[in-house]
Amino acid sequence: MIRGGMRVMIRPDSRCNRPAIEIADILRRHGDTYRRVHAGHLGRVERRVMSAIVACRTEALGGRRRL
């Protein structure tokens, strides 16, 4: 799908046209490794932001409910 001149990947079962991959997906997959590799350069705020992004759309916080 092309939106605003940019190609956007869409999940086929998506009702609200979410992108196929989100930053939270990337952080879930690679965040621990990134934190280890960049441990000396990440501050407390950056680590907390990464954790908040990962948690922000989980079922526990009212997002992404599986139907």
The tokens for 46 are 């950056």
**Number of separate domains in the chain:** 1
* Residues paired with residue 6 on neighbouring β-strands, in sequence order: 3
49 within a domain of the structure (yes/no) = yes
- The reported pLDDT for the residue numbered 55 is 86
- The reported pLDDT for the residue numbered 50 is 94
56 within a domain of the structure (yes/no) = yes
Amino acid at residue number 34? Y
Q: How far apart are CA 15 and CA 7, in angstroms?
A: 18
43 within a domain of the structure (yes/no) = yes
Say if pTM beats, i.e. exceeds, 0.85. no
Q: What is the pLDDT of residues 11-48, one digit of tens each?
A: 555 556 667 788 889 999 999 999 999 999 999 999 99
User: Which domain, by its residues, includes 55?
Assistant: 22-67
Q: How far apart are CA 2 and CA 35, in angstroms?
A: 34
5 within a domain of the structure (yes/no) = no
1 within a domain of the structure (yes/no) = no
- The reported pLDDT for the residue numbered 35 is 95
